Each structure stands twice: as C-alpha cells, then as structure tokens.
Amino acid sequence: MPQITVDFSYNAEVISDTFVRELHETVVEIAAARPEACKTLFREGHTGYGYEGVADESHHVVHVTIGLLAGRSEETKAKLTEAVLDVLRKHVAPQDGVTLHASAEVRDLDASYRKFER
C-alpha cells in the first residue's frame, strides 16, 4: 500500500525514474504513506480509440490510479489527485499535433484487500 497504477497509451512517454520518484514523494507527503510501501505498476495500452471507433494516434492517454487503505479524508484524496496531475504536467512533454488526456483518481482499497511479500 499504496497501490499505484499508471495506464498509458503506447505512444505517451511517461516512464522515467524522476517521474516515479516525484510521484512517490507526492503520495508520501500528502497521504502520509510510508516511502518503502510505494510501488508503481505501469500498464501500456495500444492505440487509443475515439467515439468513432477509429484508431487515433493524435490522442495520448495517461491515467494514474492510487489505491489507499481507508481513512483519508475526501479533502486529502482530492489534494493528492490534483498534485498527481501537476506531476504529470511536469513530466509528460507536449508533442506537436497530439492532445494529451491525463487523469488521476485516488480511491480507498476495498476492505477485502490483503497482500503478502516474499
């Protein structure tokens, strides 16, 4: 915990050590998470599709989901979401002719959440 997932279209350049470091620092600072608990999974998707159902490489998608154990206020979760968007703005470079659709959400992990480490 926290469970961080970054979903992105294959052509959106988001993976970097500095991005991950700043993302983790933001989660630690705002959500009071332990630094060693931060883990991030990147999931690369294929070309995005718009309303018409046609592959469109002029649109890149990046979505960050952060799952936290319950107990943070809605205000804290909103503050973290805004901060994550700021981190994305800083680290995902604009590209000519490309629209970036960046989003983030912070949610409570379900009460059934369990984990183990080896």
**Is position 7 within any domain?**
yes
Please tell me the predicted confidence (pLDDT) of residue 36.
93
**Is position 87 within any domain?**
yes
Mean pLDDT of the chain: 89
> Per-residue pLDDT tens for 41-86?
999 887 665 666 666 677 888 999 999 999 999 999 999 999 999 9
> Per-residue pLDDT tens for 6-23?
998 866 677 788 999 999
Whether 62 contacts 92, CB under 8 Å: yes
**Is position 83 within any domain?**
yes
**Is position 20 within any domain?**
yes
Residue 93: pLDDT band (50, 70, 90) is: confident
Structural domain span for residue 26:
3-108
**Is position 68 within any domain?**
yes
**Is position 116 within any domain?**
no
Please tell me the predicted confidence (pLDDT) of residue 16.
85
pTM of the predicted structure, to 2 decimals: 0.89
**Is position 32 within any domain?**
yes
Count how many domains the chain has.
Answer: 1
Q: Residue 58 burial by CB count (10 A; 0-12/13-18/19+): exposed, middle or buried?
A: exposed
Structure tokens at 92: 């995902």
**Is position 114 within any domain?**
no
What is the domain-level CATH number for residue 15? Answer: 3.30.429.10
